[in-house]
């Protein structure tokens, strides 16, 4: 049966290895396996196992041949020959050799790795894991030792399969935990096995903790000498960190069972002089990682994370953790840089979002009398003077955590910003021990005058934390003026903001001095100063006004945005500063208001090109990786940690690469700042489009505006209407030019996009769609203004015609009046001339009137008499006729009735005929 199984594997080695001699190894391994499985003498079988172990441990070809046919035979020996300890040892040692890589010269990348193949084959064998775990209960030391080595090898290459198998085996984890109380060599192997087993396996982590892992881990650490111990302490701390990482319940168990005193004891340095070898450094780093995990509180998805984090902070502070961290990170300069950095990061985590811990740190004083100073001053000095980039990042993180949402702390630090005389500003940093926090900071901010831009930008980073979201601090620092050098011709003090912009320009010029990039020296200086400006200008119109007071500032920013030799990050940040000059601009001065800034951007850069700077920045590596991987090293024996793992950031490798951001920026530019930039970008896009599509002067077209005012002459009214129409025409022309420019920019943007970019949706399409929408809105507004203009022009023409007619009437009346005046004047002149000739020749007008009146009266009396005579004659005739009619029997009254009416009717008929 066994030989049939072996024959099924025959030739596998030849197929995989592909050389002529492979069949020899295949036949040799087959003979040895035949002796082991079918041998009659135990001694011969043991010798065959020993011989097989020797060849498998030395040759990949034999490893491959053994893996193809040997596992079933060896496992059967372990099951059936448990009493033969020597044979069991040999089998286990052979299996370990088959799973151990042989480090010969590296071959091709596609070369077969027999050890990995054998691990996979063995892990697939039925009941393999349960069989190996049962061997841990054997009394023989080597059986247990080789079994642990074999399980570790299986776990290294097939972790998930082994983890699942162990969880299904009763008391499987318990047997492994018992090994921690075994002899030292067994214990160490069990530590390695458990360290691999507990990675990302929450169920196994819980079982290990309930089996008393915390007590056993700290017991081993104490036995080994805490941080002064060897690699075993490192393994214990790695296992501890696996159990605590993202696991709030295990953190609670640690705090409430074993407590945190044993952990604090690891961080405590002993003696007056300390020696730090590589192993002690890694041990301390692992212990500080444990502190960091406790300060994190657990998984982000854990609902009790925040409460657990706060409880961990309170407990650690009660255990004086801050004092130990200050000794490791700030006070003891002989501590290795990686340990100092990790300790300062823990300080930052400890005070983040905790007002009590912030106040505690602010009250701490370091040093010995008489040379004592506040802890914050010491941390600032480290930040400014260190030659290590990682140490600068860690110290900067403390100030970020201290100032974040801490208005009182920001005001306290800002109150110490008192400018020093020019002589003090140029003192050496080593002489600043007695300076206040603010004086030291301002001193460093002005060192750019001496060419020390690196120290200047580090101070600028601290200042940006102090100003963030604090309007009073921003306006206070705006009033700070820096004294100029005495030898300068223009020696007037200048605002601190103007000095920072000056250093930004100097850094840009130094970056490419003599045509060579000095990325390792100043590549991050510009980005950090721009970060300060972005933070300073945000929601602060006073800062924007101060920035625009100097016209060259705007010109320099425009050049920086369009400078292709700068990095994407720097161009994007400069574009954000320009945008802030629009959205937070409250100025009414011509040339400095938001309209002027937008017009300048459109003319010098173009809106499409300007908006593309934001898109490029969002796709840059700085935005894709907000935190540096260098700050999250895992110092474990399994990952072969060395001093190379904890070396400082080195930017020299960027000197040959163009337009790459310094790796330090991924740590300095945290997620909060990136979120600020993203929110500003959205506001800038919206505001610029609104400003660009809006007239420079808002004119409200009100119907009352078109009506003639009381007391307003026609000429003034026409003149006012003419000015109104001209203003509307000017605004319409301005809008036409703006829309033409936007359309041109949009066309350029569309033509420069790659085909795949055009069809890809999402973020690339949003700016173009926004511009399309804004262009349509502007066109609609233009049409409305054109209609309003036509209406105003028609009404103006109507009023102009009316005014012309009125003027003609007035002119004719005026001419008639003038002619009457002239006639009257002539008559008056004639009267005057007659009076001068004398009274004798002048007729008596009154006498003439009286005479004419008498004659007229006489004539009227004569005519009246004649009329009366006629009436008398007519009356007599009527009487005679009436008598005659009576005689004839006619009724005179009836005949006379209606005679007057008929006459009236006849007269009315005549009038109507006349009207027709």
In this prediction, residue 709 carries a pLDDT of 72
Percent helix, percent strand, percent coil in the chain, to nearest 5: 75, 0, 25
**What is the Cα–Cα distance from 753 to 759, expressed in whole angstroms?**
10
**What is the Cα–Cα distance from 322 to 338, expressed in whole angstroms?**
18
Average pLDDT of the segment spanning 428-440: 70
**Contact present, 478 and 499 (Cβ < 8 Å):** no
Q: What is the pLDDT of residues 264-281, one digit of tens each?
A: 999 988 765 567 889 999
Residue 649 is given by DSSP the state P
**Contact present, 540 and 475 (Cβ < 8 Å):** yes
Please report, for the domain that includes residue 560, its CATH number. 1.25.10.10
Where does the pLDDT of residue 526 fall: very low under 50, low under 70, confident under 90, or very high at 90 and above? very high
In this prediction, residue 689 carries a pLDDT of 81
Please say if the pLDDT value at position 633 is more than 70: no
Has residue 583 been placed in a domain?
A: yes
Average pLDDT of the segment spanning 810-832: 79
Please say if the pLDDT value at position 752 is more than 50: no
Kindly list the distances between the CA atom of residue 343 and the CA atoms of 289, 362, 379, 886, in Å, as whole numbers in the listed order: 9, 17, 12, 154
Has residue 580 been placed in a domain?
A: yes
More confident residue, 806 or 7: 806
Average pLDDT of the segment spanning 4-29: 52
Query: What's the chain's length in residues?
Result: 916
List b or e across 225-237, with b for residues whose CB sees 16 or more CB atoms inside 10 angstroms. Answer: ebbbbebbbbbbb
Residues 6+ apart with CB under 8 A from 387: none
Beta bridge partners of 372: 367
Has residue 590 been placed in a domain?
A: yes
Where does the pLDDT of residue 761 fall: very low under 50, low under 70, confident under 90, or very high at 90 and above? very low
pTM across the whole model: 0.73
**How many structural domains compose the chain?**
1
**What is the Cα–Cα distance from 740 to 543, expressed in whole angstroms?**
33
Residue with tokens 């140029």: 426
Kindly list the distances between the CA atom of residue 682 and the CA atoms of 125, 570, 611, 651, 676, in Å, as whole numbers in the listed order: 59, 18, 10, 33, 10
Residue with tokens 């920019």: 745
Beta bridge partners of 13: none
Range picked from 353-357, 732-736, 912-916 for highest mean pLDDT: 353-357
**Contact present, 308 and 256 (Cβ < 8 Å):** no
SS3 815: helix
Please say if the pLDDT value at position 762 is more than 50: no
Average pLDDT of the segment spanning 187-214: 91
CA dihedral 645, 646, 649, 654 (to 10 degrees): -20
Average pLDDT of the segment spanning 425-438: 63
Average pLDDT of the segment spanning 633-638: 55
In percent, the amount of the chain with pLDDT more than 90 equals: 40
In this prediction, residue 663 carries a pLDDT of 72
Helix axes 71-80, 114-123, angle to 10 degrees: 50
Residue with tokens 């109104």: 724
Ramachandran angles phi, psi of 783, nearest 5°? -65, -40
In this prediction, residue 271 carries a pLDDT of 60
| DSSP track, 203-254 | HHHHHHHHTTHHHHHHHHHHHHTGGGS-HHHHHHHHHHHHHHTT-HHHHHHH
**What is the Cα–Cα distance from 795 to 805, expressed in whole angstroms?**
15
How far apart are the two ends of the chain, measured CA to CA in Å?
144
**What is the Cα–Cα distance from 153 to 197, expressed in whole angstroms?**
11
**What is the Cα–Cα distance from 527 to 541, expressed in whole angstroms?**
22
Please say if the pLDDT value at position 737 is more than 80: no
Q: How many CA atoms lie within 13 A of 231 on its CB side?
A: 14
Ramachandran angles phi, psi of 206, nearest 5°? -65, -45
Where does the pLDDT of residue 429 fall: very low under 50, low under 70, confident under 90, or very high at 90 and above? very low
Has residue 576 been placed in a domain?
A: yes
**What is the Cα–Cα distance from 418 to 420, expressed in whole angstroms?**
6
Q: What is the pLDDT of residues 706-718, one digit of tens each?
A: 666 777 777 777 7
Residue 908 is given by DSSP the state H
Burial of 556 (0-12, 13-18, 19+ CB in 10 A): middle
In this prediction, residue 440 carries a pLDDT of 92
Residue with tokens 């709030």: 248
Has residue 611 been placed in a domain?
A: yes
**What is the Cα–Cα distance from 353 to 406, expressed in whole angstroms?**
8
| Strand pairing report for 371-374 and 481-482 | unpaired
Of 675, 576, 572, whose CA–CA distance to 626 is shortest?
A: 675
Ramachandran angles phi, psi of 373, nearest 5°? -155, 160
Has residue 693 been placed in a domain?
A: yes
Burial of 543 (0-12, 13-18, 19+ CB in 10 A): buried
In this prediction, residue 758 carries a pLDDT of 41
Q: What is the pLDDT of residues 85-108, one digit of tens each?
A: 999 999 999 999 999 888 755 544
**Contact present, 535 and 675 (Cβ < 8 Å):** no
Ramachandran angles phi, psi of 371, nearest 5°? -95, 75
Where does the pLDDT of residue 489 fall: very low under 50, low under 70, confident under 90, or very high at 90 and above? very low
Where does the pLDDT of residue 12 fall: very low under 50, low under 70, confident under 90, or very high at 90 and above? very low
**Contact present, 598 and 582 (Cβ < 8 Å):** yes
370: cis peptide before it, omega within 30°?
A: yes
Has residue 459 been placed in a domain?
A: no
Tokens of 308: 């657990």
Helix axes 2-9, 22-38, angle to 10 degrees: 170
Has residue 598 been placed in a domain?
A: yes
**What is the Cα–Cα distance from 848 to 690, expressed in whole angstroms?**
91
Please say if the pLDDT value at position 201 is more than 90: no
Residue 329 is given by DSSP the state I
Of 793, 787, 792, 778, whose CA–CA distance to 734 is shortest?
A: 778
393-402, 617-626, 771-780: which has the minimum mean pLDDT? 771-780
Averaged pLDDT of the chain = 80
**Contact present, 124 and 162 (Cβ < 8 Å):** no
In this prediction, residue 892 carries a pLDDT of 65
Q: Which domain holds residue 528?
A: 502-511+518-641+661-705+713-726
């Amino acid at each position: 049966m066994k030989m049939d199984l072996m024959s099924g594997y025959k030739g596998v080695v030849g197929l995989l290895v592909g050389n002529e001699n492979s069949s020899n190894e295949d036949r040799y391994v087959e003979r040895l396996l035949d002796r082991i499985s079918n041998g009659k003498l135990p001694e011969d079988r043991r010798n065959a196992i020993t011989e097989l172990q020797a060849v498998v441990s030395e040759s990949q070809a034999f490893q491959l041949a053994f893996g193809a046919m040997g596992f079933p035979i060896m496992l059967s020996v372990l099951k059936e020959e448990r009493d033969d300890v020597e044979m069991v040892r040999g089998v286990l040692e052979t299996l370990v050799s088959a799973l151990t890589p042989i480090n010969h010269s590296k071959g091709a990348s596609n070369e077969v790795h027999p050890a990995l193949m054998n691990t996979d084959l063995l892990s697939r064998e039925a009941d393999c894991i349960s069989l190996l775990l049962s061997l841990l209960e054997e009394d023989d030391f080597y059986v247990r030792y080789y079994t642990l080595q074999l399980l570790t090898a299986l776990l290294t290459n097939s972790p998930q399969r082994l983890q699942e198998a162990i969880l299904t085996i009763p008391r499987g984890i318990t047997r492994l935990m018992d090994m921690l109380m075994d002899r030292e060599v067994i214990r160490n192997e069990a530590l390695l096995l458990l360290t691999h087993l507990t990675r990302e396996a929450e169920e196994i982590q819980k079982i290990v903790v309930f089996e008393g892992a915390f007590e056993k881990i700290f017991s081993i650490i104490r036995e080994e000498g805490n941080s002064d111990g060897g690699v075993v302490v490192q393994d214990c701390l790695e296992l501890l960190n696996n159990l605590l990482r993202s696991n709030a319940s295990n953190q609670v168990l640690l705090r409430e069972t074993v407590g945190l005193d044993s952990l604090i004891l690891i961080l405590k340095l002993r003696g007056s002089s300390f020696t730090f070898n590589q192993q002690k450094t890694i041990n301390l780093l692992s212990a500080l990682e444990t502190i960091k995990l406790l300060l994190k509180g657990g998984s982000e998805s854990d609902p009790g994370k925040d409460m657990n984090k706060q409880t961990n902070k309170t407990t650690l502070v009660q255990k004086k953790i801050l004092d130990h961290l200050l000794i490791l990170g700030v006070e003891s300069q002989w501590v290795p840089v990686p340990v100092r950095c990790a300790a300062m990061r823990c300080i930052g985590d400890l005070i983040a979002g905790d007002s009590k811990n912030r106040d505690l740190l602010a009250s701490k004083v370091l040093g010995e009398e008489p040379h004592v100073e506040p802890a914050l001053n010491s941390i600032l000095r480290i930040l400014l003077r260190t030659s290590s980039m990682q140490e600068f990042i860690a110290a900067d993180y403390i100030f970020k955590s201290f100032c974040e949402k801490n208005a009182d702390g920001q005001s306290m630090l800002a109150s110490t910003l008192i400018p020093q005389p020019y002589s003090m500003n140029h003192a050496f940093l080593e002489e600043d021990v007695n300076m206040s926090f603010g004086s030291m900071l301002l001193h460093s901010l002005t060192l750019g005058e001496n060419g020390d831009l690196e120290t200047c930008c580090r101070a600028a980073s601290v200042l940006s934390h102090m100003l963030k979201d604090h309007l009073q601090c921003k306006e206070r620092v705006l009033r700070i003026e820096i004294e100029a050098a005495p030898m300068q011709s223009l020696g007037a003090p200048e605002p601190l903001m103007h000095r920072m912009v000056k250093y930004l320009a100097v850094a840009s010029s130094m970056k490419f001095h003599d045509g060579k990039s000095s990325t390792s020296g100043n590549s991050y200086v510009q980005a950090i100063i721009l970060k300060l400006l972005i933070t300073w200008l945000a929601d602060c119109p006073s800062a924007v006004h101060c920035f625009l007071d100097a016209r060259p500032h705007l010109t320099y920013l425009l050049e920086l945005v369009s400078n292709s030799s700068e990095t994407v990050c720097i161009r994007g940040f400069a574009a954000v500063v320009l945008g802030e000059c629009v959205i937070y601009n409250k100025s009414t001065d011509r040339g400095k208001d938001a309209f002027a800034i937008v017009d300048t951007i459109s003319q010098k850069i173009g809106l499409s090109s300007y908006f593309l700077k934001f898109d490029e920045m969002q796709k840059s590596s700085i935005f894709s990786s907000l935190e540096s991987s260098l700050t999250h090293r895992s110092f474990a024996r399994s990952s072969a940690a060395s001093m190379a793992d904890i070396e400082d950031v080195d930017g020299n490798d960027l000197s040959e690469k163009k337009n790459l951001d310094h790796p330090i920026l991924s740590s300095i530019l945290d997620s909060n700042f990136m979120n600020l930039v993203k929110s500003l970008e959205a506001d800038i896009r919206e505001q610029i489009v609104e400003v660009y599509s809006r007239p420079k002067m808002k004119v409200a077209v009100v119907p009352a505006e078109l009506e003639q005012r009381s007391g307003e002459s026609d000429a003034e009214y026409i003149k006012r209407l003419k000015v109104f129409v001209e203003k509307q025409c000017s605004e319409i022309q301005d809008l036409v030019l703006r829309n033409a420019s936007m359309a041109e920019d949009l066309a350029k943007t569309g033509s420069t996009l790659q085909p795949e970019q055009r069809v890809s949706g999402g973020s690339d399409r949003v700016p173009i769609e926004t511009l399309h929408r804004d262009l349509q809105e502007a066109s609609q507004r233009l049409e409305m203004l054109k209609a309003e203009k036509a209406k105003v022009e028609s009404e103006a023409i109507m009023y102009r015609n009316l005014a012309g007619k009125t003027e003609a009437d007035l002119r004719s009346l005026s001419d008639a009046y003038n002619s009457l005046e002239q006639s009257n004047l002539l008559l008056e002149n004639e009267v005057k001339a007659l009076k001068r000739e004398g009274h004798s020749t002048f007729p008596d007008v009154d006498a003439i009137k009286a005479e004419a009146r008498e004659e007229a009266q006489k004539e009227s009396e004569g005519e009246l008499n004649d009329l009366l005579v006629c009436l008398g004659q007519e009356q007599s005739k009527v009487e005679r006729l009436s008598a005659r009619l009576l005689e004839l029997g006619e009724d005179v009254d009836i005949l006379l009735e209606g005679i007057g009416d008929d006459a009236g009717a006849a007269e009315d008929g005549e009038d109507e005929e006349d009207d027709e």
